[in-house]
Amino acid sequence: MDSDTFWVVVGAARAAADATGRPIEETLHDELVRHSPEDIVLFQKHFDDAANALYRWDVWGAAYLIGGGCSDDSFIDFRAGLITYGQAWFDRVLAGPDSLAGHPAVLEQDGERLFMESVNYLAREAFEQVTGHGDNFHTEWNSRSQSLARNSCPNLGEEFDFDDDAEMRRRLPQLAARLLG
């Protein structure tokens, strides 16, 4: 599985979730179990790369506004949830996290839809279903990750105070206008 296929799988799952009303976690799981164990491990690699690319102070600030606060663990869940909205939203947020002011979850004042802890574990669960051995997922991941090019955590950018409303308005004006009043 390459990066393009990763985004096709995510997009297919999002389309299925939107069309059926089923949770994205279920439709993404259904998509993953259609793939080989090796592709499921590679899916996790691309998922991790995407999550690492989103690991920036400005994205965290956006998550903080959307969630009314955002711990380390919640930021992991936010990045996972954001990935489930597909490559277009991923690219938009990388270009400027303030674009999340136009995200449906924000517009509908349901920002919690962007925080999805369970998505972080879907590849392991799909691997277990396909192979019958969930414990082998981490063994496979570790053995394959040595040879896979992985994006490490990028430059986080400039840290800023998420509790400083003036700073949030300066850095994320559209989100701040919508969420801070």
Domain locations in the chain as residue ranges: 3-179
pLDDT at 1: 92
Q: Counting beta carbons within 10 angstroms of the beta carbon of residue 181, is it exposed (0 to 12), middle (13 to 18) or buried (19 or more)?
A: exposed
Rounded to two decimals, what is the model's pTM? 0.91
128 contact partners, CB below 8 Å, separation of at least 6: 134, 137
Q: Which of 31, 35, 37 is nearest to 139 (CA)?
A: 37
Residues 131-164: pLDDT tens digits? 887 667 777 766 666 555 555 556 788 899 999 9
pLDDT at 138: 72
| Percent of the chain whose pLDDT exceeds 70 | 91
110 contact partners, CB below 8 Å, separation of at least 6: none
Average pLDDT over residues 76-82: 97
Residues 83-92: pLDDT tens digits? 999 999 999 9
Tell me how far apart the alpha carbons of residues 148 and 54 are, in angstroms, rounded to a whole number. Answer: 20
Tell me how far apart the alpha carbons of residues 51 and 90 are, in angstroms, rounded to a whole number. Answer: 10
Identify the weakest region by mean pLDDT among 6-20, 35-49, 137-151.
Answer: 137-151
Output the CA torsion 50→88→5→134 (10° steps). Answer: 50
Mean pLDDT of the chain: 91
pLDDT at 144: 62
pLDDT at 141: 66
pLDDT at 151: 52
Residue where the block lists tokens 């972080």: 120
